[in-house]
Structure 1
Amino acid sequence: MFETLRKTLTGLTAAAALTAIAAPAAMAQEKSLLDDILARGKLIVGTGSTNAPWHFKDESGNLVGFDIDIAKMIAMGLFKDPNKIEFVEQSSDARIPNVTTGKVDITCQFMTVTAERAQQVAVTIPYYREGVGLLMKAGGKYKSYDDLKKAGSGAVISVLQNVYAEDMVHAALPDAKVDQYESVDLMYQALSSGQADAAATDQSSVKWFIVQQPGQYIDAGYAWGPQSYSCAVKRGDQQWLNFVNTVLHEAMTGVDFATYAGSFKKWFGVELPQPAIGFPVEYK
């Protein structure tokens, strides 16, 4: 009897000790940057300022662009006020370090998702799918991607100079002549002057040029080389990541779709179809 009682008390003591150890750990897991941001009263976002239509400054010196709108949607979700936000302007190579060191709460800066980056930061669900597109002059010799492909080596494509530029263009137009330029401006000048029949550039840039200069340019109608753009947060904080993912998901598919669609139309000139009502299409 006494032996049984001793074992019971010993078991209870061990259980109590485990509970005492586990309690602080559970409390630590519940602590989230989300709580700190709400208490602080503003969201701190890392982004750029020189790449339209993603992040750039308008005539009044204010940051604008699609990345800026995405950040404001997150601030709206936090505070019901899209302006409760502090932007930290950063270079592309600071996107991950500023998150990991806590300088910013989140980076929203046209960051391509890769497995390597996902080892360093937690990436959110994608809010845009980028790709390579072909910008053409309206009224030019060729009218579409099919025309360019049929032209074979007769088609000249301008592209920003880099080690994989020729392979990138030939993935879509195997026989086209590829002219590489040292800057984006020179690449577009070649198109405008007629030295090139199309410019191979980001699909978002193709759409932006058409929005900015209506009637002067057209989209060839073909894109390739898909890559996802996501925001980045510090690893290990599932509550904060879940919150941001919820905001982005409902912006693209749910209650805040009108805001997302309005921004998409403004920067890319595309009218998005309303998400289907009924069974959530993303789970099909």
Structure 2
Amino acid sequence: MRKLWKKLVVVAVLLTAAVSLSACESYGQEEKAKNDVYDQVKSSKTIIWGVRNDTRLFGLMDIKKDRLVGFDIDLAKAITKQMLGKDAKAELFQTSSKTKIPVLKNGNVDALMATVTITPDRKKEVSFSKPYFNAGQSLLVPAKSKVKSIKDLNKKGMVVVAVKGTTAVANIRKFAPKARVLEYDDYGQAFTALKAGQGQAMSTDNGILAGIAAENKGYHVVGGTFTHEPYGVAVDKGQTKMVHAINKALDELEKNGTYNRLMHKWFDGIPGFSIKEAER
């Protein structure tokens, strides 16, 4: 009986070891696959990009054309071809503010080109390219407004509209502490409040405000930027080869004029918006 028991124990140990070894091998394969994103896209000649579908000038669904359009969309396609060749393909995966980091971490996309601000907290989760758009907080006001900069808002009785949960709210309280901030759920509601006269200015990233100004005559961006919050291409943490390849492609697109052409294509002629300030 004792011998049988010993045999059973040995079998159990061997099975446990086999399962553990299998699990380790599986984990190792997953980690290897995770670390080979650049090799995978190079082999397939395809990059799956996480992009926005609700941000004018950067990534927006054009209902008439039934496709996504914007600066981020065009730049993602240009980077893909610069990295992988003229016959390479950029696949677009639609994301939102809440989902963009999770879909990247889950492996649904290879990279994010989705107005992702480079921040210390995000650097703990993902790796970033060099900045491709020098975003910063600015102000949107009616054309006849006397407000020309953030300093003009730092007075009692001044009201700024912004979106809940964004850095814009905290920045207004920092740079114009005497102003009152009205918070809304989204940019559409915030701009409606500005049009209704519920505030003297609306504040968020300069590029987003440029998009609103582009489709609403009588409003313009003022004061330049009073914060520095650049956008970068995000890839999963540790994807060093992918980051290097994207940075190289961005440098080459800048040298051959493609980057500047795209900036002018999307941001020319917007009242108060400075392309020179926003360029990398």
TM-score by length of 2: 0.73
Equivalent runs, 1:268-279 vs 2, <5 Å = 268-269=267-268, 270-272=274-276
1:147, 1:93 → 2: CA distance?
32
1:173, 1:162 → 2: CA distance?
18
2:70, 2:247 → 1: CA distance?
20
Per-residue deviation, 1:102? 3.0
Equivalent runs, 1:94-109 vs 2, <5 Å = 94-109=99-114
Equivalent runs, 1:61-100 vs 2, <5 Å = 61-81=66-86, 84-100=89-105
SS at structure 1 position matched to 2:183: strand
SS at structure 2 position matched to 1:224: coil
Amino acid at match of 1:173: A
Does 1:205 pair with 2:193?
no
SS at structure 1 position matched to 2:91: strand
Match of 1:36 in 2: 40
Match of 1:12 in 2: none
TM-score by length of 1: 0.72
What stretches of structure 2 of length at least 5 have no aligned partner? 1-31, 269-273
Residue 220 (structure 1) aligned to one of 222, 227, 238: 222
Match of 2:196 in 1: 193
Equivalent runs, 1:225-236 vs 2, <5 Å = 225-236=227-238
2:237, 2:107 → 1: CA distance?
11
Give the total of aligned pairs.
241
Match of 1:266 in 2: 265
After TM superposition, where is structure 1 displaced by more than 6 Å over at least 4 residues in a row? none
**1:74–1:82: 8 Å Cα contact kept in structure 2?**
no
RMSD: 3.0
2:106, 2:188 → 1: CA distance?
35
Match of 1:174 in 2: 177
CA shift digits 1:30-69 (9 cap, x unpaired) = x943333233132211222122222111121211122212
Q: 1:93 to 1:211 in 2, by over 3 A?
A: closer
**2:83–2:249: 8 Å Cα contact kept in structure 1?**
no
SS at structure 2 position matched to 1:53: coil
What stretches of structure 1 of length at least 5 have no aligned partner? 1-27, 276-281
Q: 1:139 to 1:147 in 2, by over 3 A?
A: farther
